């Protein structure tokens, strides 16, 4: 059940990011659901590997390089899912990764709070 909730929250987050970040486009809720799965799979496989091999660079940049990797993973997912999910360049992907992480964090904390009550 939690996995389904996280999937839905990720899709909602993608829709919100598409309204906030210029150059970040999601066609609709169905496209957001598919994009959430693809982004999750890309991050769990290639993203994990890249974060592991660039760990020294991440330490040197105090974690900022992870945002670069996340942006690249969003761009890869965009390439796989175009035209339903499109990120037009590195900077929209970079800012989209940051905003996506923040929105996901807020939505997940709200659902955890609701579960406790």
- Structural domain spans, the chain: 21-116
CA–CA dist 3, 71 (Å, integer): 23
Q: How many Å separate Cα 14 from the centre of its chain? A: 7
Backbone φ/ψ region at 23: left (φ over 0), alpha (ψ -120 to 50), beta:
left
pTM for this predicted structure: 0.92
> 53-89, pLDDT tens digit by residue?
999 999 999 999 999 999 999 999 999 999 999 999 9
Q: What is the pLDDT of residue 4?
A: 94
Q: What is the mean pLDDT of residues 84-107?
A: 97
Q: What is the pLDDT of residue 1?
A: 82
Percent of the chain with pLDDT over 90: 91
* The residue to which tokens 């890869």 are assigned: 76
Q: How many Å separate Cα 12 from the centre of its chain? A: 11
């Amino acid at each position: 059940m939690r996995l389904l909730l996280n999937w839905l929250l990720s899709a909602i987050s993608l829709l919100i990011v598409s309204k906030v970040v210029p150059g970040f486009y999601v066609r609709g809720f169905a496209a957001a659901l598919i994009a959430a799965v693809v982004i999750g799979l890309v991050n769990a496989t290639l993203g994990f590997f890249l974060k592991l091999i660039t760990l020294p660079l991440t330490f040197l940049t105090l974690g900022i390089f992870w945002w670069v990797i996340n942006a690249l993973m969003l761009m890869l997912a965009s390439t796989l899912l175009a035209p339903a999910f499109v990120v037009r360049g590195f900077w929209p992907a970079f800012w989209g990764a940051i905003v996506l992480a923040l929105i996901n964090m807020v939505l997940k904390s709200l659902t955890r709070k609701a579960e406790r009550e």
